[in-house]
Amino acid sequence: MWRIHLSIHLLCVLLCALSACDRAADRQTGTKTAMPQRDINTVKEAHAAELMALPGVVGVAVGELEDHTPCILVMVVKLTKELEGKIPKTIEGHPVRIEESGEIRPMR
């Protein structure tokens, strides 16, 4: 009977270890959303230029999702499937929200 308990215990330990390795691999490959390591403002500043280089992107800011989670807000003139495909869903673990703002012009 003790062998059965020992076997079950070892199996549980093995499964937990494999699960931890799987999560670590996900963080490295980016296949799942990783926990943010850097402040959202720092991340926004680090990626603003590459986002602004996309045709149709007119602004990048820190915003909020509907549940008040901070996000990186990408403002676009017109949201198209092509543009949506070029903008990542997350950046360094922070969610990205795309908002169709139209053209942004300075006030006179």
Q: How confident is the model at residue 41, as a pLDDT?
A: 96
Count of domains for the chain: 2
pTM: 0.66
DSSP 3-state of 69:
coil
Listed in order, strand segments (DSSP E) in 10-107 are 57-64, 70-76, 90-91, 94-100
Over the stretch 66-94, which tens digit does the pLDDT of each residue have? 999 999 999 999 999 999 999 999 999 99
Of 90, 57, 53, 49, nearest in space to 72 by CA: 90
Q: In this structure, what CATH number is given to the domain that contains residue 66? A: 3.30.300.50
Domain span at 53: 40-100
Q: How confident is the model at residue 2, as a pLDDT?
A: 45
Q: How confident is the model at residue 81, as a pLDDT?
A: 95
Task: Spell out, as residue ranges, where the chain has pLDDT lower than 50.
Answer: 2, 5-7, 9-16, 18-31
Q: CA-CA distance, 44 to 34, in Å (whole number)?
A: 16
Alpha-carbon distances of 66 from 45, 90, 97, rounded to whole Å = 23, 16, 10
Q: How confident is the model at residue 70, as a pLDDT?
A: 96
